[in-house]
Amino acid sequence: MTTAALELKDVRKSFGRSEIIRGASLTVQKGERCAVIGPNGAGKSTLFNLVSGRFDITSGAICLNGNSISGLRPFEINRLGLSRSFQISNLFDKLSVYENLRCAVLWSLGYQYSFWQRLNGLRDAHERAEEVLEQIGMQRQRKVLAGVLTYAEQRALEIGITIAGGADVILLDEPTAGMSRSESDAAVELIRKVTVGKSLVMVEHDMSVVFGLADKIAVLVYGEVIACDTPANIRSNAAVQAAYLGHGGSEEAA
Protein backbone atom coordinates (compact mmCIF):
# COMPACT_ATOMS: atom_id res chain seq x y z
CA MET A 1 0.00 0.00 0.00
CA THR A 2 1.34 3.45 -0.87
CA THR A 3 1.89 6.04 1.83
CA ALA A 4 -0.71 8.81 1.90
CA ALA A 5 0.49 12.37 1.31
CA LEU A 6 -1.57 13.60 4.25
CA GLU A 7 -3.44 11.70 6.89
CA LEU A 8 -5.54 12.98 9.77
CA LYS A 9 -6.43 10.36 12.34
CA ASP A 10 -9.22 11.11 14.82
CA VAL A 11 -8.05 14.72 15.21
CA ARG A 12 -9.63 16.77 17.97
CA LYS A 13 -9.21 20.41 18.85
CA SER A 14 -10.75 22.28 21.74
CA PHE A 15 -10.63 25.97 22.51
CA GLY A 16 -11.27 26.16 26.22
CA ARG A 17 -14.33 24.00 26.82
CA SER A 18 -15.54 24.07 23.21
CA GLU A 19 -14.55 21.14 21.09
CA ILE A 20 -14.37 22.54 17.53
CA ILE A 21 -12.79 19.59 15.71
CA ARG A 22 -14.44 16.42 16.94
CA GLY A 23 -12.56 13.37 15.75
CA ALA A 24 -11.86 14.33 12.13
CA SER A 25 -10.20 11.71 9.94
CA LEU A 26 -9.12 12.29 6.35
CA THR A 27 -6.67 10.69 3.93
CA VAL A 28 -5.31 12.50 0.89
CA GLN A 29 -3.31 10.36 -1.50
CA LYS A 30 -0.30 11.52 -3.47
CA GLY A 31 -1.40 13.41 -6.57
CA GLU A 32 -4.98 13.77 -5.33
CA ARG A 33 -6.96 17.03 -5.21
CA CYS A 34 -9.26 17.16 -2.20
CA ALA A 35 -11.76 19.92 -1.41
CA VAL A 36 -12.98 20.44 2.13
CA ILE A 37 -16.48 21.89 2.22
CA GLY A 38 -18.92 22.57 5.01
CA PRO A 39 -21.19 25.22 6.48
CA ASN A 40 -19.86 28.39 8.07
CA GLY A 41 -18.28 27.65 11.42
CA ALA A 42 -17.85 23.91 10.68
CA GLY A 43 -14.14 24.16 11.50
CA LYS A 44 -12.52 24.25 8.05
CA SER A 45 -10.07 27.05 8.83
CA THR A 46 -9.31 25.48 12.19
CA LEU A 47 -8.53 22.20 10.44
CA PHE A 48 -6.12 24.03 8.10
CA ASN A 49 -4.49 25.72 11.08
CA LEU A 50 -3.98 22.32 12.70
CA VAL A 51 -2.50 20.74 9.57
CA SER A 52 -0.14 23.66 8.94
CA GLY A 53 1.00 23.73 12.58
CA ARG A 54 -0.45 27.11 13.49
CA PHE A 55 -2.57 25.43 16.19
CA ASP A 56 -1.64 22.34 18.20
CA ILE A 57 -4.04 19.42 18.07
CA THR A 58 -5.70 18.42 21.34
CA SER A 59 -5.53 14.71 20.42
CA GLY A 60 -5.21 12.40 17.43
CA ALA A 61 -2.45 12.46 14.84
CA ILE A 62 -1.51 14.20 11.60
CA CYS A 63 0.99 12.56 9.23
CA LEU A 64 2.72 14.02 6.20
CA ASN A 65 4.12 11.43 3.78
CA GLY A 66 3.84 8.86 6.56
CA ASN A 67 5.65 10.88 9.24
CA SER A 68 3.93 12.49 12.20
CA ILE A 69 3.92 16.28 12.08
CA SER A 70 1.86 16.71 15.25
CA GLY A 71 3.50 19.30 17.50
CA LEU A 72 5.84 20.66 14.80
CA ARG A 73 5.98 24.39 14.11
CA PRO A 74 4.69 25.84 10.82
CA PHE A 75 8.14 26.42 9.29
CA GLU A 76 9.22 22.87 10.18
CA ILE A 77 6.12 21.46 8.50
CA ASN A 78 6.76 23.71 5.50
CA ARG A 79 10.28 22.37 5.14
CA LEU A 80 8.92 18.82 5.24
CA GLY A 81 6.93 19.61 2.09
CA LEU A 82 3.60 21.19 3.04
CA SER A 83 2.81 24.74 2.00
CA ARG A 84 -0.34 26.75 2.67
CA SER A 85 -1.84 29.92 1.30
CA PHE A 86 -3.88 32.34 3.35
CA GLN A 87 -7.26 33.95 2.79
CA ILE A 88 -5.72 37.26 3.82
CA SER A 89 -3.09 38.61 1.47
CA ASN A 90 0.40 37.52 2.36
CA LEU A 91 2.27 39.64 -0.19
CA PHE A 92 4.94 42.30 0.17
CA ASP A 93 3.12 45.19 -1.50
CA LYS A 94 6.25 47.23 -2.14
CA LEU A 95 8.19 44.41 -3.77
CA SER A 96 7.73 43.40 -7.38
CA VAL A 97 6.08 40.17 -8.49
CA TYR A 98 9.51 38.65 -9.17
CA GLU A 99 10.91 39.80 -5.80
CA ASN A 100 7.93 38.36 -3.95
CA LEU A 101 8.56 35.01 -5.61
CA ARG A 102 12.27 35.11 -4.93
CA CYS A 103 11.59 35.93 -1.27
CA ALA A 104 9.33 32.88 -1.06
CA VAL A 105 12.01 30.68 -2.64
CA LEU A 106 14.72 32.00 -0.31
CA TRP A 107 12.49 31.57 2.72
CA SER A 108 11.82 27.97 1.80
CA LEU A 109 15.55 27.42 1.39
CA GLY A 110 15.99 28.60 4.96
CA TYR A 111 17.36 32.09 4.45
CA GLN A 112 16.08 35.17 6.19
CA TYR A 113 14.89 38.36 4.53
CA SER A 114 17.63 40.37 6.26
CA PHE A 115 20.18 38.60 4.06
CA TRP A 116 18.36 39.78 0.97
CA GLN A 117 21.05 42.14 -0.31
CA ARG A 118 23.75 39.51 -0.06
CA LEU A 119 21.74 36.94 -1.96
CA ASN A 120 21.31 38.79 -5.23
CA GLY A 121 23.68 36.44 -6.95
CA LEU A 122 22.01 33.21 -5.88
CA ARG A 123 21.29 31.54 -9.17
CA ASP A 124 19.18 28.69 -7.82
CA ALA A 125 16.71 31.07 -6.19
CA HIS A 126 16.62 33.19 -9.32
CA GLU A 127 15.98 30.19 -11.55
CA ARG A 128 13.24 28.83 -9.35
CA ALA A 129 11.56 32.25 -9.14
CA GLU A 130 11.70 32.49 -12.95
CA GLU A 131 10.19 29.03 -13.26
CA VAL A 132 7.27 29.94 -10.97
CA LEU A 133 6.79 33.26 -12.76
CA GLU A 134 6.29 31.31 -15.96
CA GLN A 135 4.04 28.71 -14.32
CA ILE A 136 1.66 31.37 -13.03
CA GLY A 137 1.81 33.25 -16.34
CA MET A 138 2.98 36.55 -14.87
CA GLN A 139 6.21 37.18 -16.78
CA ARG A 140 4.80 40.41 -18.20
CA GLN A 141 4.10 41.71 -14.68
CA ARG A 142 7.46 40.66 -13.24
CA LYS A 143 8.48 44.22 -12.38
CA VAL A 144 5.08 45.39 -11.20
CA LEU A 145 4.75 46.04 -7.46
CA ALA A 146 2.48 43.48 -5.81
CA GLY A 147 0.48 46.28 -4.21
CA VAL A 148 -0.77 47.60 -7.55
CA LEU A 149 -1.77 44.28 -9.12
CA THR A 150 -5.45 43.54 -9.64
CA TYR A 151 -7.09 41.40 -6.97
CA ALA A 152 -7.12 38.32 -9.23
CA GLU A 153 -3.43 38.83 -10.08
CA GLN A 154 -2.60 39.12 -6.38
CA ARG A 155 -4.36 35.83 -5.73
CA ALA A 156 -2.41 34.22 -8.59
CA LEU A 157 0.82 35.54 -7.11
CA GLU A 158 -0.17 34.10 -3.73
CA ILE A 159 -0.55 30.73 -5.42
CA GLY A 160 2.91 31.21 -6.93
CA ILE A 161 4.31 31.98 -3.49
CA THR A 162 2.62 28.90 -2.07
CA ILE A 163 4.19 26.58 -4.65
CA ALA A 164 7.55 28.42 -4.88
CA GLY A 165 9.33 26.21 -2.34
CA GLY A 166 8.47 23.05 -4.27
CA ALA A 167 6.19 21.57 -1.58
CA ASP A 168 4.38 18.43 -2.67
CA VAL A 169 1.32 19.03 -0.47
CA ILE A 170 -0.45 22.33 -1.11
CA LEU A 171 -3.18 23.81 1.10
CA LEU A 172 -5.27 26.57 -0.45
CA ASP A 173 -7.71 28.53 1.66
CA GLU A 174 -10.62 29.84 -0.45
CA PRO A 175 -8.48 30.52 -3.53
CA THR A 176 -11.34 32.05 -5.55
CA ALA A 177 -13.02 34.07 -2.79
CA GLY A 178 -14.13 37.49 -4.04
CA MET A 179 -13.54 36.70 -7.71
CA SER A 180 -15.86 37.15 -10.68
CA ARG A 181 -16.89 34.01 -12.58
CA SER A 182 -14.27 34.55 -15.31
CA GLU A 183 -11.52 35.28 -12.77
CA SER A 184 -12.56 32.22 -10.84
CA ASP A 185 -12.46 30.05 -14.00
CA ALA A 186 -8.93 31.30 -14.71
CA ALA A 187 -7.91 30.57 -11.10
CA VAL A 188 -9.23 27.00 -11.41
CA GLU A 189 -7.13 26.47 -14.54
CA LEU A 190 -4.07 27.89 -12.80
CA ILE A 191 -4.57 25.70 -9.72
CA ARG A 192 -5.08 22.65 -11.92
CA LYS A 193 -1.87 23.39 -13.80
CA VAL A 194 0.40 24.13 -10.83
CA THR A 195 -0.80 21.15 -8.80
CA VAL A 196 -0.17 18.47 -11.42
CA GLY A 197 1.62 15.63 -9.62
CA LYS A 198 1.09 17.26 -6.22
CA SER A 199 -1.52 16.75 -3.54
CA LEU A 200 -3.96 19.58 -3.04
CA VAL A 201 -6.26 20.26 -0.12
CA MET A 202 -8.45 23.31 -0.51
CA VAL A 203 -11.20 24.95 1.44
CA GLU A 204 -13.66 26.47 -1.00
CA HIS A 205 -17.24 27.74 -0.81
CA ASP A 206 -17.86 27.99 -4.56
CA MET A 207 -19.36 24.64 -5.55
CA SER A 208 -18.59 25.03 -9.25
CA VAL A 209 -14.91 25.37 -8.31
CA VAL A 210 -15.11 22.43 -5.93
CA PHE A 211 -16.89 20.11 -8.35
CA GLY A 212 -14.71 21.25 -11.24
CA LEU A 213 -11.37 20.70 -9.56
CA ALA A 214 -11.61 18.10 -6.83
CA ASP A 215 -10.98 14.37 -7.24
CA LYS A 216 -12.43 13.95 -3.79
CA ILE A 217 -14.61 16.05 -1.51
CA ALA A 218 -14.56 15.92 2.29
CA VAL A 219 -17.63 17.34 4.02
CA LEU A 220 -16.98 18.82 7.43
CA VAL A 221 -19.98 19.46 9.66
CA TYR A 222 -19.61 20.50 13.30
CA GLY A 223 -15.98 19.42 13.35
CA GLU A 224 -16.57 15.95 11.92
CA VAL A 225 -15.90 14.63 8.41
CA ILE A 226 -19.36 13.24 7.68
CA ALA A 227 -18.43 12.07 4.15
CA CYS A 228 -15.37 11.89 1.95
CA ASP A 229 -15.93 10.63 -1.57
CA THR A 230 -15.86 11.39 -5.28
CA PRO A 231 -17.81 14.48 -6.42
CA ALA A 232 -20.50 12.27 -8.00
CA ASN A 233 -21.02 10.29 -4.80
CA ILE A 234 -20.98 13.43 -2.63
CA ARG A 235 -23.61 15.02 -4.83
CA SER A 236 -25.96 12.08 -4.29
CA ASN A 237 -25.12 11.49 -0.62
CA ALA A 238 -28.31 11.90 1.41
CA ALA A 239 -26.50 12.84 4.63
CA VAL A 240 -24.57 15.56 2.80
CA GLN A 241 -27.73 16.84 1.15
CA ALA A 242 -29.42 17.05 4.51
CA ALA A 243 -26.51 18.60 6.36
CA TYR A 244 -25.19 20.94 3.75
CA LEU A 245 -25.72 20.94 0.02
CA GLY A 246 -29.50 21.02 0.22
CA HIS A 247 -29.48 24.00 2.49
CA GLY A 248 -29.31 26.90 0.06
CA GLY A 249 -27.27 29.75 1.54
CA SER A 250 -24.28 30.88 -0.50
CA GLU A 251 -23.49 27.31 -1.44
CA GLU A 252 -24.87 26.26 -4.78
CA ALA A 253 -24.73 22.58 -5.64
CA ALA A 254 -23.17 22.45 -9.08
Question: In the bound complex, what is the minimum distance in angstroms from residue 56's beta carbon to ligand ATP?
Answer: 11
User: Which of helix, strand or coil describes residue 225?
Assistant: strand
Question: In the bound complex, what is the minimum distance in angstroms from residue 185's beta carbon to ligand ATP?
Answer: 22
Question: In the bound complex, what is the minimum distance in angstroms from residue 177's beta carbon to ligand ATP?
Answer: 10
Find the part of the chain contacting ligand ATP (CB under 6 A) among 3-11, 34-42, 122-130, 183-191. 34-42
Residues 129-148 that bind ligand ATP (CB under 6 A): none
Query: What is the enclosing helix (H) or strand (E) of 64?
Result: strand 59-64
Q: What share of the chain is helix, strand, coil (3-state, %, to 5)?
A: 40, 25, 35
154 lies in the site for ligand ATP, by CB under 6 A: no
DSSP designation for 113 = G
- Closer residue to ligand ATP, CB minimum distance, 32 or 204: 204
- Closer residue to ligand ATP, CB minimum distance, 168 or 206: 206
Find the part of the chain contacting ligand ATP (CB under 6 A) among 25-33, 36-44, 61-69, 93-101. 36-44
Assign residue 16 a region (left: φ > 0; alpha: ψ between -120 and 50; beta: otherwise): left
Neighbours of 252 (CB within 10 A): 11
42 lies in the site for ligand ATP, by CB under 6 A: yes
Given 5, 8, 11, 20, the residue binding ligand ATP (CB under 6 A): 20
- Closer residue to ligand ATP, CB minimum distance, 44 or 84: 44
Q: How many residues bind ligand ATP (CB under 6 A)?
A: 10
43 lies in the site for ligand ATP, by CB under 6 A: yes
- Closer residue to ligand ATP, CB minimum distance, 18 or 182: 18
Given 45, 141, 154, 237, the residue binding ligand ATP (CB under 6 A): 45
Adjacency order of strands within the sheet including 216-221? 82-84, 169-173, 199-203, 33-37, 216-221, 224-229
53 lies in the site for ligand ATP, by CB under 6 A: no
247 lies in the site for ligand ATP, by CB under 6 A: no
Task: Please list, in sequence order, all residues whose beta carbon lies within 8 angstroms of the beta carbon of residue 9, skipping any fewer than 6 positions away.
Answer: 25, 60, 61, 62, 63
Between helices 123-135 and 97-109, what is the axis angle to 10°? 120
- For residue 63, what are the β-bridge partners? 7, 68
Q: What angle do CA 247, 174, 187 make, to 5 degrees?
A: 115
| C-alpha to C-alpha distance for 146 and 98, rounded to whole angstroms | 9
Binding site for ligand ATP (CB under 6 A): 15, 20, 38, 40-46
